[in-house]
């Protein structure tokens, strides 16, 4: 698999703040890649450098083998970046905005592509109105359409579903998944970790200007030794503290459901203890760790310094 984006030794400072600290990253062609991190981790700065909006202090970035500085025009055509900030010229309609943006890439007649985007992003009935008349969610759809109108090979989505309703979010992801199946490289930053877990093949987690981990989604999740057991009983139960001594569990308010968090190696021992109680069990659910658990551990959001 060829490399879509190669980032080497990228540094960026703002005064005394080291926004990016020796960033090295390879993203393969056709990947659905997640770039995650808390606020201030450096994600948007890195995307700004990639798009030519932020000047790096040192290092190199290549897009499809071309340096983003030496081959600015060529690499710009290969990228479609959806920014977080919503900005439009208020004097053009939705369709005119997309036609004008196409012209920046030397595309004169792409009405078929524009119609495809308007339909896919549920903007067809808004094509002849101005951005001022659009809702916040509609404006974000237009941002996405602008990024895709020149049919780029690499699509960068920087918090694309912030403030977007559930229906649009689902239709957007269906469209983006289809683009990925067609061979487009997708790079996603999001604070909705369930989105990244559902969509991404590989994930890089950033914190304080550094990349702290890059791995497949499965490997990241499997690195957390955690199982959550949820057991629902037919009737309320009492005295479990004495029966399940040495097992840390939560009992819900109606005394009918317990939740146990444990290491994988202790799962069998705990289940044998539960069975030995001879209680009437109506449901058992066992969950593994989630991407959120990995994120919290690697970015130390839980406050544990170990």
Say whether pLDDT at 135 is over 80: yes
Judge whether 294 lies within some domain.
no
Quote the percentage of the chain above a pLDDT of 90.
63
Which residues are bridge partners to 156 per DSSP? 81, 187
Predicted confidence (pLDDT) per residue in 163-221, tens digit: 777 877 888 899 899 999 999 999 999 999 999 999 999 999 999 999 999 999 999 99
Determine the pLDDT at residue 247. Answer: 85
Element (H, E) at 68: none
Please check whether residues 177 and 83 belong to one and the same domain: yes
pTM of the full structure: 0.86
Judge whether 36 lies within some domain.
yes
- Domain holding 183, by residue range, is 3-221
Residues 221 and 229: their CA atoms lie apart, in Å, by: 17
- DSSP string of 140-206, one letter each residue: HHHHHHHHHTT--SEEEEESTTTT--HHHHHHHHHHHHHHHHTT-EEEEE-S-HHHHHHH-SEEEEE
**Which of 121, 119, 120, 143 has the alpha carbon at shortest distance from 131?**
143
Give the burial class of 16: count Cβ atoms within 10 A of its Cβ; 0-12 exposed, 13-18 middle, 19 or more buried.
exposed
Determine the pLDDT at residue 301. Answer: 61
**Which of 182, 54, 202, 163 has the alpha carbon at shortest distance from 116?**
182
Please check whether residues 20 and 151 belong to one and the same domain: yes
Mean pLDDT of the chain: 90
Determine the pLDDT at residue 305. Answer: 41
Please check whether residues 110 and 168 belong to one and the same domain: yes
Predicted confidence (pLDDT) per residue in 3-15, tens digit: 999 999 999 999 9
Which residues are bridge partners to 233 per DSSP? 281
Q: What is the CATH number of the domain that holds 150?
A: 3.40.50.300
Judge whether 305 lies within some domain.
no
Say whether pLDDT at 89 is over 90: no
Quote the percentage of the chain above a pLDDT of 70.
98
Region 28-45 average pLDDT: 96
Residues in CB range of 196: below 8 A, 6 or more apart: 34, 36, 188, 190, 203, 217, 291
Question: In the structure encoding, which two tokens stand for residue 92, read together?
Answer: 């053009």
Please check whether residues 241 and 206 belong to one and the same domain: no
Q: What is the CATH number of the domain that holds 243?
A: 3.30.2130.10
**Which of 167, 285, 194 has the alpha carbon at shortest distance from 232?**
285
With contact defined as beta carbons under 8 Å apart, do 77 and 105 qualify?
A: yes
Predicted confidence (pLDDT) per residue in 209-264, tens digit: 999 999 999 999 989 988 999 999 988 888 787 778 778 888 887 788 889 988 88
Region 115-124 average pLDDT: 92
Judge whether 299 lies within some domain.
no
Say whether pLDDT at 275 is over 90: no
Say whether pLDDT at 125 is over 90: yes
Determine the pLDDT at residue 256. Answer: 87
What is the distance between the terminal CA atoms of the chain, rounded to a whole angstrom?
37
Say whether pLDDT at 306 is over 80: no
């Amino acid at each position: 698999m060829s490399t879509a984006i190669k980032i080497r030794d990228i540094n960026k400072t703002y005064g005394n703040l080291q926004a990016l600290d020796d960033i090295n990253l390879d993203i393969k062609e056709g990947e659905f890649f997640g770039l995650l991190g808390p606020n201030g981790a450096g994600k948007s700065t890195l995307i700004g450098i990639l798009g030519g909006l932020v000047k790096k202090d040192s290092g190199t970035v290549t897009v499809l083998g071309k340096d983003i500085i030496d081959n600015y025009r060529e690499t710009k055509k290969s990228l479609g970046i959806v920014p977080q900030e919503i900005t439009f010229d208020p004097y053009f309609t939705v369709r005119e905005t997309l036609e004008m943006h196409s012209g920046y890439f030397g595309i004169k007649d792409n009405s078929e592509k524009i119609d495809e985007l308007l339909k896919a992003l549920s903007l067809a009935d808004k094509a002849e109105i101005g951005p001022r008349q659009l809702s916040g969610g509609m404006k974000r759809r237009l941002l996405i359409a602008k990024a895709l109108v020149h049919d780029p090979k690499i699509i960068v989505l920087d918090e694309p579903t912030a403030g977007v309703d559930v229906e649009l979010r689902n239709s957007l992801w269906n469209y983006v998944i289809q683009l990925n199946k067609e061979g487009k490289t997708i790079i996603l930053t999001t604070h909705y970790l369930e989105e990244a877990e559902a969509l991404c093949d590989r994930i890089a987690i950033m914190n304080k200007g550094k990349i702290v981990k890059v791995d497949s989604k499965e490997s990241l999740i499997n690195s957390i030794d955690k199982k959550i057991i949820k057991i629902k009983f037919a009737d309320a139960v009492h005295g479990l503290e004495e029966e399940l001594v040495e097992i840390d569990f939560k009992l819900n308010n109606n005394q009918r459901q317990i939740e146990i968090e444990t290491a994988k190696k202790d799962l069998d021992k705990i289940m044998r203890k539960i069975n030995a109680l001879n209680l009437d069990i109506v449901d058992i659910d066992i969950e593994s760790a989630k991407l959120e658990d990995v994120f919290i551990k690697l970015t130390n959001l839980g406050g544990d310094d170990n």
